[in-house]
Structure 1
Amino acid sequence: MTLVRQLLDQAARTPDGVALVSGNGTQLTYGELRRQVLAVRHGLLSAGLAEGDGVLFSVRPSPESLVLALGVVAAGGVVVFADPGAGPEMFTARLRLARPRWSAAESVLYAGSRLRIVRAYARRRGLLLPNLAELQIPGEDPMRHIHVGRRLPGVPRGSLSLADLLRGDAPEPSQDTDPDAPAAVIFTSGTTAAPRAVAHSQASLAAALGLFRDRMPLGPGDVVHTDQLMLGLPTLISGARWSMPPLFCSPADFARLMRERGATHTFCVPVHLAEILDAVPELPPSLRYVLLGAAPAPAGILKRATSATSAEVLSVYAMTEILPVAIASAEEKLAHTGSGAEGDLLGTPLPGVGARLADDGELLLSGPNLCRGYLGTEPFEELATGDLARLDDGRIVLTGRKKDMLIRGKFNLYPGLYEPSIAALPGVDEAAIVGVPDHETGDEEVVLAVTGTADPARLRRDLPAVIDHDALPDRVIVLDALPRSGRTRKLDRDRLRDLAARPARHPGTPG
């Protein structure tokens, strides 16, 4: 059964139930969600969308973006998530690889990418917008367009309006699309010369959603507060309610909406949860699950979370190519760190997920939730993650990233092996180790950056008790915050390395 079919069937069972509450409080019932998805599907097929057509997707999280994306997939199209703010060279390289035949964007983005005054303003803000209205793939027919929102100057002539697609009812599809065909393309790490596009099918996405639902039960009456599609979809398939925060939501407002809407589940990036706990002393009593993901969860944040809520706090290990892989509770992770064991406990692989180690310790993963592969390359049945790990009684323990390895003489230093133990020391909130080239010796200076109230001198005295002698840093710096990038707020080691090379700027908040 396809992902879309699961959602349509659930919506047919509970048509009067509230499926989604938008950022501004507007409610969408399951019956109306079902009608809208089928209407978009019918309208796109009538307009000429063919099976396998890629649709470049530039619509921010909203009820409209959900309906449009599901309608595209229901029609047999492929949603291509290519961030238009990635820069012109990267955007062009991604476009060349994915070769979408359609573009779907908000009207304001079409206008902003075409009007000179808006483009100049965006450029001053560091955002180089491509001209979406004039996109053209060499050798292909002119690109078709769909706009979300009222028509503005700059929206291409002949563009389909989502509002028009939503009008009227549409027939039930006589048959579902191929569950193993590509349904979504998500770009991940890669260069402009070799962008990497992860292709998921409805089957792999449905398997991923099933794993989330098995570990974190969902059903009618539950309310999931998140802006993450991969948590919102299992919510809807389960008949629960998806509470979507506004696009620009402060930590205090995020917590307030959780309380007002009676959230039972929420998902946060660890650093975002820390900001929420800075704004409010306790999380709402209605919460049963707090899910953390997209970045490692330091011991300090896990301790704060378990003190601020009676909900089960869970940490998810996942990759764009295969999600989720393992889910560990805060208690398990803290017990592992407190025992003095090295590395970051990720948990036991979820049912159906295969995990084994290559000869060099790299973690290899497989399972029904694994993507089809990367566009432009041969499909694969096993993913080489780039993560180094060990298996302790079947549990995955992350010991580092291959690309983050530092060389100190004959000693190979993997930051991920030691950072969790350092972050568990008194006064340390977060810890990160980077190497700064030493041009005199040709080796790397090992710099430990921490946040919190720890005194560097005391920290140096405590470190030998928790990490290997050869891993002790040459220098310790204290920052107000570690540099982060992207929507997932992942640690930006390149920026941290740059900061560490200029000690005169410390302490301070990375710019």
Structure 2
Amino acid sequence: MLDALAHTLRRHPDRPAVLGATRTGSVRTTATSGDLADLADRCTAALHARGVRPGGTVGVALRPGPRALAVMLAVHRLGARAAVLDPGAGPDVLRARLALAPPDIVLADAAAQAVAGWARPLAGRARLALPHLAELGPVATVGPRLPGCAPALDAGVRGTPLPRPVDGDGDAAIVFTSGTTSRPRAVVHTRSSLAAGMATVAELVRPGAGRPVLGGTFFVLVPSLASGAPVALPARSPGALSRQLRCLSPQSTYLTPPRLRSVLARGGRFGGRVWTGSAPAGAELLTRVKRAGADEAWGVYALTELFPAAAVEQADKAAFTGDGDLAGALLPGVRAATGASGELLLTGPAARDRYLGEAPDPWIATGDRARLDGGRIVLEGRLKDMVLRRAENVYPGLYEPSLHVAGVELALLVGVPAGDGDERLVAVVQPGPGADPAALRAALAGPLARMGTARPDAVLFDDVPLAGRSLKPDRAATARLAARRLAEGAGR
């Protein structure tokens, strides 16, 4: 589909590709198809001139948008793989992750470099943190440069001829998902698995040429543009997002459940077909979306390892009366099974090839307990320790070791239900004998600041419950303890 997109952009160079909304409510074109194609060609030539070859790794620290899409097209053409760098992961985690996949070059926009350098104090208040990017490898700037930024990607290499596109399969993307700083874990998708996932999205969403699609993920942008539909990136503020929906009248909209709730809280209206995922979306939320004007409201069950796997429309979800959460019918090509513990296992053409450093494995252990009901997935709870907060996965094992500063005996990160499927992230810290709470809070300030977007909503000092003959920390009991303490007004 990336090849199809490249051809589509060239066939219709004057067609609007990326749309924006002004404060007055009018629609403007921020990039045409020809603009995207030209940008992708320049990125391809520049990366090739800098030595990126088939099988190489390109670190990508770019905000979603035309430049990030052009970079992905360039990396695909060169037969390299993109390693996605998340500023919210924190510098310690990011260093450990990239030690597993050292990049040949890091591409970063001015915002990412500001987070990593001269604007670090400001970025810290936004819970973003990167190491100095130069620690990760050679750095080049994509987009406008600001003082202190690395040289532009195409600096000194303009006019370099384009290499022939690489054909065949191979690694395409590395997405870090879990593990610890000592044992990072990363999903590796191949060119064929990405293509299969995007084809499934195209079949499910059926974007039509000419009418806008609102969404910011790679799996939304590529199928839409390849079908001739212009795309719009969701505005950040709820008010601006509501105005955007009103003036664009998108045929399809993809937003996470928290963003849907923020639009509904502002009295925003929807139209066309609305899709949501990345966090639980109950029948009540989907029903509210349809009442706000959507023709259809869909919940999508997907993983980084397989996107998408199943989908359900509001009417079917509201009609479901069985136990558990109806995640939807398996999408074409996806196969499911359950393990001995009831864990949901998935496979299919869009499944990731492997985890970085591990052998290929066609079956994905989802960490979700589920049952299969006539080709539909019914979720019965998570088996993993993962905490889901504001549509972001937080893996406690990544961050708990950093909380064990002097004076801390035990520390756990747990999720406490916050309503409608979301969770609050709480650190329960057990002080050692005689530890001074004030000194302990001061000692924890640094590790908490480095946790980025995984920083907990509350820190509680209490004894961590233990269980079993080996007296291991009991996460379930700790979560209940945290919920009770928060209800009593504890924490910060």
TM-score for the superposition, normalised by structure 1: 0.74
Match of 2:248 in 1: 261
* Residues 1:176 and 2:166 aligned together: yes
Match of 1:357 in 2: 338
* Residues 1:4 and 2:2 aligned together: yes
* Residues 1:15 and 2:5 aligned together: no
Match of 1:235 in 2: 224
Letter in 2 for 1:4: L
State the Cα distance separating 1:13 from its structure 2 match: 3.1
State the Cα distance separating 1:195 from its structure 2 match: 1.2
Matched residue SS, 1:154: coil
Structure 1 pair 47–88 and aligned structure 2 pair: CA distance change class (3 A): closer
User: In 1, distance between residues paired with 2:383 and 2:424?
Assistant: 21
State the Cα distance separating 1:92 from its structure 2 match: 1.2
Identify which of 301, 305, 313 aligns with 2:289.
305
User: In 2, distance between residues paired with 1:483 and 1:200?
Assistant: 31
State the Cα distance separating 1:4 from its structure 2 match: 2.4
Structure 1 pair 404–332 and aligned structure 2 pair: CA distance change class (3 A): farther
Match of 1:66 in 2: 69
Q: Deviation per CA, 1:286-342, whole angstroms, max 9, x where unpaired?
A: x22100100111232122112112421010000000110011111111111xx2x10
User: In 1, distance between residues paired with 2:90 and 2:311?
Assistant: 34
* Residues 1:154 and 2:143 aligned together: no
* Residues 1:382 and 2:371 aligned together: no
**Number of matched pairs:** 421
State the Cα distance separating 1:355 from its structure 2 match: 0.8
* Residues 1:145 and 2:139 aligned together: yes
Letter in 1 for 2:378: V
* Residues 1:275 and 2:262 aligned together: yes
Match of 1:372 in 2: 353
Match of 2:208 in 1: 219
Would the aligned equivalents of 2:334 and 2:349 in 1 still touch at CA under 8 Å? yes
Would the aligned equivalents of 1:5 and 1:176 in 2 still touch at CA under 8 Å? no
Structure 1 pair 232–323 and aligned structure 2 pair: CA distance change class (3 A): same
Letter in 2 for 1:102: I
Structure 1 pair 174–503 and aligned structure 2 pair: CA distance change class (3 A): closer
Unaligned runs of 5+ in 2: 23-27, 389-414, 427-450, 461-475
Would the aligned equivalents of 1:346 and 1:398 in 2 still touch at CA under 8 Å? yes
Identical positions, percent:
36
Would the aligned equivalents of 2:16 and 2:230 in 1 still touch at CA under 8 Å? yes
Structure 1 pair 507–263 and aligned structure 2 pair: CA distance change class (3 A): farther
Structure 1 pair 342–493 and aligned structure 2 pair: CA distance change class (3 A): farther
* Residues 1:199 and 2:213 aligned together: no
Would the aligned equivalents of 1:35 and 1:169 in 2 still touch at CA under 8 Å? no
Structure 1 pair 163–66 and aligned structure 2 pair: CA distance change class (3 A): farther
Would the aligned equivalents of 1:204 and 1:369 in 2 still touch at CA under 8 Å? yes
Structure 1 pair 163–343 and aligned structure 2 pair: CA distance change class (3 A): farther
User: In 1, distance between residues paired with 2:10 and 2:20?
Assistant: 21
Unaligned runs of 5+ in 1: 136-142, 406-414, 417-446, 453-478
Identify which of 26, 46, 49 aligns with 1:46.
49
Match of 2:393 in 1: none
Identify which of 298, 311, 317 aligns with 1:327.
311
Would the aligned equivalents of 1:355 and 1:366 in 2 still touch at CA under 8 Å? yes
Matched residue SS, 1:232: helix
Choose between structure 1 and 2 for higher RCO, CA contacts under 8 A separated by at least 6 residues: 2
Identify which of 276, 279, 301 aligns with 1:292.
276
Would the aligned equivalents of 2:59 and 2:84 in 1 still touch at CA under 8 Å? yes
User: In 2, distance between residues paired with 1:373 and 1:492?
Assistant: 33
User: In 1, distance between residues paired with 2:227 and 2:83?
Assistant: 26
Would the aligned equivalents of 2:325 and 2:380 in 1 still touch at CA under 8 Å? yes
User: In 2, distance between residues paired with 1:21 and 1:27?
Assistant: 6
Match of 1:434 in 2: none
Match of 2:133 in 1: 132
Would the aligned equivalents of 2:343 and 2:367 in 1 still touch at CA under 8 Å? yes
User: In 1, distance between residues paired with 2:268 and 2:94?
Assistant: 42
TM-score for the superposition, normalised by structure 2: 0.77
Would the aligned equivalents of 1:295 and 1:488 in 2 still touch at CA under 8 Å? no
Worse-matched range after superposition: 371-380 or 68-77? 68-77
Would the aligned equivalents of 1:267 and 1:292 in 2 still touch at CA under 8 Å? yes
Structure 1 pair 188–450 and aligned structure 2 pair: CA distance change class (3 A): closer
User: In 2, distance between residues paired with 1:105 and 1:498?
Assistant: 38
Structure 1 pair 168–255 and aligned structure 2 pair: CA distance change class (3 A): farther
Would the aligned equivalents of 1:22 and 1:62 in 2 still touch at CA under 8 Å? no
State the Cα distance separating 1:177 from its structure 2 match: 3.3
Worse-matched range after superposition: 362-371 or 501-510? 501-510
User: In 2, distance between residues paired with 1:373 and 1:232?
Assistant: 25
Matched residue SS, 1:161: coil
Match of 1:140 in 2: none
Structure 1 pair 263–223 and aligned structure 2 pair: CA distance change class (3 A): same
User: In 2, distance between residues paired with 1:330 and 1:192?
Assistant: 40
Matched residue SS, 2:189: strand
Would the aligned equivalents of 1:209 and 1:234 in 2 still touch at CA under 8 Å? yes
State the Cα distance separating 1:56 from its structure 2 match: 1.2
Structure 1 pair 492–126 and aligned structure 2 pair: CA distance change class (3 A): closer
Matched residue SS, 2:52: coil
User: In 1, distance between residues paired with 2:161 and 2:146?
Assistant: 28
State the Cα distance separating 1:61 from its structure 2 match: 1.4
Root mean square deviation, CA, Å: 3.4
Match of 2:376 in 1: 395
Q: Deviation per CA, 1:232-255, whole angstroms, max 9, x where unpaired?
A: 111111111111134xx2112112
Superposition map of 1:455-466 within 5 A: none
